[in-house]
Amino acid sequence: MMVSAEAFARIVGKHTKQGFPYFNVVADQESNPNHVRIDMAVAGFKKEEISIKIKQLNLERVLLIEGKRCPTDASSIYKHFFAKGIMGSSFSRQFFINPNQHVRGSCLEDGILSVFIENVYPRDNEITIKID
């Protein structure tokens, strides 16, 4: 079943405005049209400092990605900067996902956090319920 990119538009449609950390939502329509990936720039964060959760918020499912710096971070050792362009603050990002969208995993490589999401549809459009 071919899914258009619009099917994943809700992922970014209701999130907070773009800012730190920057992200891309990538859909591979050719090799696997039911998969989408969120790539987030989290340079300097260790995987122990990042959490990924799915929460129920009222009637909506929310993918919550948070990063919290450890207090022993190198930036706390150096007090005086000549230039400071690397964000050292914590972050929190929310993405609203549909009930048929499931997070299949994540990885952190070269400062990019990738979260893999799949659209899961029932094989049959009709389910018969047996009456006892």
pLDDT tens figures, 66-122: 999 876 555 555 567 677 766 668 899 998 888 888 899 999 999 999 999 988 876
Nearest-Å Rg of the Cα atoms of the chain is 18
In the chain, the percentage of residues whose pLDDT exceeds 70 is: 67
What pLDDT was estimated at residue 1? 42
Q: What is the pTM of this model?
A: 0.74
Tell me: pLDDT of 13 over 60: no
In whole angstroms, what is the distance from residue 63 CA to residue 15 CA?
10
What pLDDT was estimated at residue 2? 43
Strand order in the sheet with 50-57: 50-57, 60-67, 91-97
Please answer whether residues 54 and 64 qualify as being in contact, where contact means their C-beta atoms are separated by less than 8 angstroms: yes
**Which among 122, 98, 113, 99 has a CA at the least distance from the CA of 37?**
113
